[in-house]
Amino acid sequence: MKAVEIKGIIPPVITPMNEDESINEAELRNQVSRQIKGGVHGLFPFGTNGEGYILNEQEKEQVLRIVIDETKGRVPVYAGTGCISTKDTIRQSKMAMELGADVLSIITPSFAAASQNELYEHYKAVAAAVDMPIVLYNIPARTGNALAPATVARLSKIDNIVGAKDSSGNFDNMLQYIEQTRDSGDFAVLSGNDSLILWNLLAGGAGGIAGCANVFPEVMASIYDAFIAGDLEKARKAQDSIRSFRNCFKYGNPNTIVKTAVGLLGYPVGRCRAPFNQVPEEGIEAIRAVLKENEAKGMCKCVKG
């Protein structure tokens, strides 16, 4: 199995689209390079911010091929391969392994309620089918199924299940992931909530899969880099600085807000795929104002000048 250290700021990179909702390859390549130049520590195509929930299997393969090719080994590539069924998840995971992804990020099955033992057996079967590092992905608000800390602890005993991303927004849940996997070697716990990344690190976590990095790659990467360098004040300032942007999430789906913001910076990323693509005019103006304020602070730069 490929040895990959799970750490740092890993953007769930957005999927740029043309007006007909097809994949904009040129801009996807541009966003990959932009993120890497911004200092991020990995890339996660077709996560929530990459609209993995609405891409078909052929599109996921297309996006992953592009991201791997453009990344050229500069940072690890995490492929989101979770599906509702175990069979489909294994098929997608083998596809990602064949294409050369470094890590699998596997979201819990959704829609139908699953017991903790069903979730355990699901991940155990996938882990047995692929010789790759796997990061569990808990986002119960979107899937309807929560990975309990005790289940994560059980799964951490499987050799190639090497980490977990917690997007529950419940800090105590993430703390329990960290506490209950301390005896599992280098098991890494990542925050899926951007506002909790520094607190994840302080508690012994490994970083975060950060949607806001699509807008502010340098700022988000600096949270981790400053923490590792021992500059907690710099890390805290970077963490606090994204609050004004996160306050804009009240205007719509967070990944729609993120993609809209990247577009307002001047990148031709298109809209999110319908029907999840609407932001009210007051939201647009709020995002524009926040970006202008943050550009003045050096947090971002509008490519339109």
Q: Is 78 a catalytic residue?
A: no
For residue 137 the two structure tokens come to: 């992905």
Helix (H) or strand (E) holding 15: none
Closest C-alpha among 20, 4, 49, 19 to residue 262: 49
Residues 79 and 101 sit within 8 Å (Cβ to Cβ): yes
For residue 33 the two structure tokens come to: 């390079």
Q: How many CB atoms lie within 10 A of CB 241?
A: 18
Rounded CA-CA distance 34/27 in Å is 10
Closest C-alpha among 214, 161, 171, 175 to residue 193: 171
Residues 206 and 7 sit within 8 Å (Cβ to Cβ): yes
What backbone torsions phi and psi does residue 189 show, to the nearest 5 degrees? -110, 125
CA–CA distance from 212 to each of 48, 215, 300 (Å)? Answer: 12, 5, 11
Closest C-alpha among 261, 225, 229, 259 to residue 245: 261
Residues 123 and 134 sit within 8 Å (Cβ to Cβ): yes
Rounded CA-CA distance 20/32 in Å is 22
- Active-site residue (options: 7, 165, 177, 259): 165
For residue 62 the two structure tokens come to: 């297309």
Q: Is 137 a catalytic residue?
A: yes
- Active-site residue (options: 137, 224, 251, 267): 137
Q: Which residues are catalytic?
A: 137, 165
